[in-house]
Amino acid sequence: MTNTQSTPATKPKPRPRPQVMKLTEAAAARIRELTNRADSQIVGLRVGVKNGGCAGQSYTVEYAHEIRPTDEVVEDKGVKILVDPKAVLFLLGTEMDYHADKMQAQFVFNNPNQISACGCGESVQLKPAEV
């Protein structure tokens, strides 16, 4: 008689999900400042991508008053950004920075998925990340 005792199949551990975006210290400091001085309670900034502009797409940044069930929540350097689920593949691997000089102050997206940008800098062309 042979022993046909089966061993339970070991399930491979899922690999950790990559963080969609990361922040520089300057971006985190600006988000903290905006959060603290907002007129109403906000949980962080919502980041996304919308169609439009001469290059085809542009980044969006707005106050987030709630975390939606579909939001990708990124916590980095003590602040939260909420990524619109439709933008995740376009923003994967992006570093969000903040630059201020005498002429302008803005969040800057260092995005490996950016193919091109228009001359005025208001819109970009993005491709989905290869995962």
Residue 85 and residue 89: Cα distance in Å, rounded?
8
Q: Are 82 and 70 in contact (CB under 8 A)?
A: no
Structure confidence at residue 117 (pLDDT): 84
DSSP string, 42-63: --EEEEEEEE-STTSEEEEEEE
Structure confidence at residue 77 (pLDDT): 95
Q: Are 47 and 81 in contact (CB under 8 A)?
A: yes
Q: What's the whole-model pTM score? A: 0.80
Helix, strand or coil, per DSSP, at residue 34: helix
When the pLDDT of each residue in the chain is averaged and rounded to a whole number, the result is 88
Q: In Å, how far are 42, 74, 109, 113, 124 from 95, measured between CA atoms?
A: 22, 12, 6, 11, 15
- Give the pLDDT confidence of 4-40 residue by residue, as tens digits: 555 566 778 776 777 899 999 999 999 999 998 888 8
- Give the pLDDT confidence of 37-57 residue by residue, as tens digits: 888 889 999 999 999 888 888
Mean pLDDT of 61-85: 94
Q: Are strands 57-64 and 44-51 parallel, antiparallel or unpaired?
A: antiparallel
